[in-house]
C-alpha cells in the first residue's frame, strides 16, 4: 500500500539580514525529517524560501541605499546559497516577490472578503516595526521613556485606515481544535507542549479581556503607511499585512488557488517547523485564515528554541552571531549537522560551544562509530579476503547486539515522528555502544586462531549492524554515511529502509576501509 505524501516546511526567512545559525537549525531539522521520510517510502515535498515584503525590509533596503527589489534579490540569494552549503534537499525555494505568490495572496484575500471575513475600519495601537506586529499595553515594558515589546523591539503608537480580519470569530474554534485527541483529522497539534499551553493561555486571556467587545481581537491585515508589499485587490492604497502575505507561501507552493494542481495533494502541511518567536502567527492567525477561507489547516506546528553562543545571548551588537557557513568550513558539514540536532532536545533552548562540538565529533563520531567501522572492515579485509562473510545463525552471545538493532528503525521512526531528533540519535549511538562492547567481547581477531566459522559469523553480524547504522543515519550525515555504505559494499539502489530486509549476498567484495571522521584538538 502506498504511503501518504508528506509536506514539510521551514518558515520563510526574513531578508532584512544575512542567514545565521538559527536559520540553518530550523532548515536542518526539516531536511532530516524530509530525507528520513523519503527513505521510508513516502513522497515528500519540502519547502523553504524567503519573506521579502514589509516595512522592515523597506527600511533595511533604504538604509543599504538600494531599491527594495534589488536588496531582496541579493539577500534572498544568500539564503538560497545556505541551502546548498548545508546540503538541504528542499524541493522548492519560494520568494514572496514571485508572481505566483502575489497571485495566491490576492486569491486568498478575495476568498476571505467574499465570505465576509474582512472589513474596512481604522486601527490604532502599539506597533513594533522589527516584529511587524501590534502589541497590547499589558505586554509592554518601558525604559528611559521608550516602550518595548516582549521581543525587545521598540514600539510606536500607530493610527491608520486598515482592513480587519474577523479573528475573534475563529478563536473558540481554534481552542476546540487544539484539544482534539491525537489522530483526529481536525486537530491542530502544537509542539512542544509548553508552546501549546502558551498559545491556549494567550487566546483564553484575550477572550476573557474582550468578552464584551470581541471585535477588539480582530486582526489588522493591511497597511497604508508604506508601499513595499502585495497590493490589496480593489484598494491599492493598502498593502497586505506582511504576515498574511508571508504565511500564504505554504499554499502558494502547493499550487493555490489551483486545487487541481499536482502539488495540492500534499496540503495540508504535516509539520510547519518554526522558531518559538513566531509560534503565535502560525498557530492562531494562519489556521484562522485557512478556516475562514474553507481550506484545510496544518496538522502540526513545532516551535524550537533559541541558541546562545558560549553562554551569551547572540546579537550583532556583541559580535557573536554564529555564521553556519564558517562553521561548516571549520568542522565539516556532517559533524555540524550531527551536533546541532544531537546536543539539545529539539524544542529547548541550547548553547553552542565549540568544545562540546569537538567532544561529540571525537567521542561519538570518530571513536564510537568511525572506529567500529574501521576495526570491522579491516578485519574482513585481512581475514576474509576482503569479501563479505555468509549470513550466520545467531547464538546466545549475539542477543545483546541484536536486542537494540532489531528494533532500531522502528524506534528512530517513532522518535522522528515526534521530532525528537536528539533521542533518535541517542538510540542509534546506544546501539553503536552495544556493538563496540560486542566486538571487544567476541574478539574476532582471537577467534581467527580458534574458530574461523564463529569469527566469520561475528564479522557478518557487525557488518549487519554497521549497515543499519549507516542507513538510518543518512538523513543526518548524508555524505559521510554514503561513504560508509560504499565501504560496506551496499549498492546505491539498496540504501532505503525497505532494503534493510534484504541481506547482501555472501562474497560481496568490500573496498579497503578509509577513515570517516578526523579527530580535532579541543579548543583552548
Residue 93, pLDDT score: 98
The span from the CA of 20 to the CA of 248, in Å, is 24
Domain endpoint, select from 269, 286, 305:
305
- Could you write out the DSSP letters of every residue in 144-178? TTEEE-TTS-B-EEEEEEEEEE-HHHHHHHHHHHH
For position 430, what pLDDT does the model report?
97
Q: Based on the domain organization, do 297 and 357 belong to the same domain?
A: no
Same domain for 400 and 469: yes
The residue among 241, 274, 305 that closes a domain is 305
Residue 324 domain-assigned (yes or no): no
Is the pLDDT confidence value at 265 over 70?
yes
| Alpha carbon distance 476, 423 (integer Å) | 13
Tell me if 339 is assigned to some domain: no
Average pLDDT of span 295-320: 85
Q: What is the pLDDT of residue 179?
A: 96
On whether both 367 and 231 belong to a single domain, the answer is: no
Mean local confidence (pLDDT), 355-370: 96
Residue with cell 472578503: 113
Contact between 168 and 210 (Cβ < 8 Å): yes
Other C-beta atoms lying within 10 Å of the C-beta of residue 306 = 15
Residue 409 lies in a domain: yes
Same domain? For 299 and 387 the reply is: no
Is residue 225's pLDDT more than 90? no
Contacts of 461 (CB under 8 A, 6+ apart): 392, 394, 398, 401, 402, 438
Do 278 and 410 reside in the same domain of the chain? no
Residues 292 and 373 occupy one common structural domain? no
Residue 53, pLDDT score: 96
Cα–Cα distance measured from residue 171 to residue 287, given in angstroms and rounded to the nearest whole number: 10
328 located within any domain: no
| 318 domain residue, yes or no | no
The reply to whether 269 and 145 lie within a common domain is yes
258 pLDDT above the threshold of 90: yes
In this prediction, residue 114 has a pLDDT band, given cuts at 50, 70 and 90, of very high
Evaluate whether residue 437 is within a structural domain.
Answer: yes
Q: Is residue 472 part of a domain?
A: yes
d(CA 75, CA 58): 13
pLDDT computed for residue 56 by the predictor: 87
pLDDT higher than 90, residue 350: no
Q: Check if the beta carbon of residue 387 is closer than 8 Å to that of residue 510.
A: yes
276, 305, 334 - which closes a domain: 305
Q: Going by DSSP bridges, is the β-strand pair 146-148/141-143 parallel, antiparallel, or unpaired?
A: antiparallel
Mean pLDDT of 11-33: 92
Greater confidence (310 vs 424) lies with 424
Mean pLDDT (the chain) is 94
Residue 326 domain-assigned (yes or no):
no
Total of domains in the chain = 2
Q: In whole angstroms, what is the distance from residue 166 CA to residue 219 CA?
A: 7
Same domain, yes or no, for 13 and 162? Answer: yes
Based on the domain organization, do 242 and 136 belong to the same domain? yes
Tally the residues of the chain. 524
The closest alpha carbon to 409, from 467, 491, 482, belongs to 467
Cα 472 from Cα 466, distance rounded (Å): 10
DSSP string, 378-439: HHHHHHSTTBPPPP----GGGHHHHHHHTTHHHHHHHHHHTT-HHHHHHHHHHHHHHHHHHH
Question: What was the pLDDT predicted at 453?
Answer: 96
pLDDT 10s digits, 423-469 = 999 999 999 999 999 999 999 999 999 999 999 999 999 999 999 99
CATH code for position 56: 3.40.50.620
Shared domain check, 438 and 290: no
Bridge-based pairing state of the strands 44-51 and 92-95: parallel
Same domain, 36 and 180: yes
The predicted model gives 329-356 an average pLDDT of: 93
CATH number of domain containing 428: 1.10.730.10
What is the DSSP code (8-state) at residue 270? S
**Could you give the CA distance from residue 179 to residue 189 in angstroms, rounded to a whole number?**
8
Give the domain extent around 394: 353-501
Could you tell me if 142 and 263 lie in one domain?
Answer: yes
pLDDT over 70 (residue 313): yes
Amino acid at each position: 500500500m502506498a504511503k501518504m505524501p508528506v509536506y514539510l516546511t521551514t518558515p520563510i526567512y526574513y531578508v532584512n539580514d544575512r542567514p545565521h545559525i538559527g536559520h540553518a537549525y530550523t532548515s536542518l531539522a526539516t531536511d532530516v525529517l524530509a530525507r528520513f521520510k523519503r527513505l521510508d517510502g513516502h513522497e515528500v515535498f519540502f519547502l523553504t524560501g524567503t519573506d521579502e515584503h514589509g516595512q522592515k525590509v523597506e527600511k533595511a533596503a533604504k538604509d543599504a541605499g538600494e531599491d527594495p527589489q534589488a536588496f531582496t534579490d541579493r539577500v534572498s540569494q544568500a539564503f538560497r546559497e545556505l541551502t546548498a552549503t548545508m546540503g538541504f534537499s528542499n524541493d522548492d525555494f519560494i520568494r514572496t516577490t514571485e508572481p505566483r505568490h502575489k497571485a495566491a495572496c490576492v486569491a486568498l484575500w478575495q476568498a476571505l472578503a467574499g465570505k465576509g471575513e474582512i472589513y474596512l475600519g481604522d486601527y490604532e495601537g502599539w506597533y513594533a516595526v522589527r516584529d511587524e506586529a501590534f502589541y497590547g499595553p499589558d505586554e509592554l515594558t518601558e525604559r528611559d521613556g521608550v516602550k518595548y515589546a516582549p521581543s525587545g523591539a521598540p514600539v510606536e503608537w500607530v493610527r491608520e485606515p486598515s482592513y480587519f480580519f474577523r479573528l475573534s470569530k475563529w478563536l473558540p474554534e481554534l481552542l476546540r481544535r487544539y484539544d482534539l485527541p491525537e489522530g483526529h483529522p481536525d486537530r491542530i497539534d502544537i509542539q512542544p507542549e509548553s508552546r501549546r499551553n502558551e498559545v491556549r493561555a494567550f487566546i483564553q486571556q484575550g477572550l476573557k479581556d474582550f468578552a464584551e467587545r470581541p471585535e477588539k481581537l480582530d486582526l489588522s491585515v493591511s497597511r497604508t503607511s508604506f508601499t513595499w508589499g502585495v497590493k490589496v485587490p480593489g484598494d491599492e492604497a493598502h498593502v497586505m499585512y506582511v504576515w498574511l502575505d508571508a504565511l500564504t507561501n505554504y499554499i502558494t507552493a502547493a499550487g493555490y488557488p489551483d486545487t487541481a494542481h499536482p502539488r495540492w495533494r500534499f496540503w495540508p502541511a504535516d509539520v510547519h517547523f518554526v522558531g518559538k518567536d513566531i509560534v503565535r502567527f502560525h498557530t492562531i492567525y494562519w489556521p484562522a485564515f485557512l478556516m475562514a477561507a474553507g481550506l484545510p489547516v496544518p496538522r502540526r506546528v513545532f516551535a524550537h528554541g533559541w541558541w546562545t553562543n558560549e553562554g551569551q545571548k547572540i546579537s550583532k551588537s556583541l559580535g557573536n552571531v554564529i555564521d553556519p557557513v564558517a562553521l561548516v568550513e571549520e568542522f565539516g558539514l556532517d559533524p555540524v549537522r550531527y551536533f546541532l540536532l544531537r546536543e539539545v532536545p529539539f524544542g529547548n533552548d541550547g548553547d553552542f560551544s565549540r568544545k562540546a562540538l569537538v567532544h561529540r565529533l571525537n567521542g561519538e563520531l570518530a571513536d564510537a562509530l568511525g572506529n567500529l567501522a574501521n576495526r570491522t572492515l579491516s578485519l574482513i579485509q585481512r581475514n576474509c579476503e576482503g569479501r563479505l562473510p555468509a549470513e550466520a545463525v545467531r547464538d546466545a552471545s549475539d542477543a545483546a547486539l541484536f536486542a537494540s538493532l532489531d528494533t532500531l528503525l522502528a524506534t528512530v521512526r517513532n522518535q522522528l515522528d515526534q521530532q525528537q531528533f536528539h533521542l533518535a540519535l541517542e538510540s542509534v549511538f546506544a546501539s553503536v555502544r552495544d556493538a563496540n562492547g560486542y566486538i571487544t567481547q567476541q574478539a574476532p581477531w582471537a577467534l581467527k586462531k580458534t574458530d574461523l566459522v564463529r569469527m566469520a559469523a561475528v564479522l557478518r553480524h557487525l557488518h549487519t549492524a554497521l549497515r543499519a547504522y549507516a542507513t538510518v543515519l543518512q538523513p543526518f550525515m548524508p555524505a559521510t554515511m554514503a561513504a560508509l555504505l560504499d565501504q560496506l559494499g551496499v549498492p546505491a539502489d539498496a540504501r532505503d529502509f525497505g532494503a534493510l530486509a534484504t541481506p547482501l549476498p555472501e562474497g560481496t567484495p568490500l573496498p579497503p576501509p578509509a577513515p570517516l571522521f578526523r579527530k580535532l584538538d579541543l579548543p583552548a
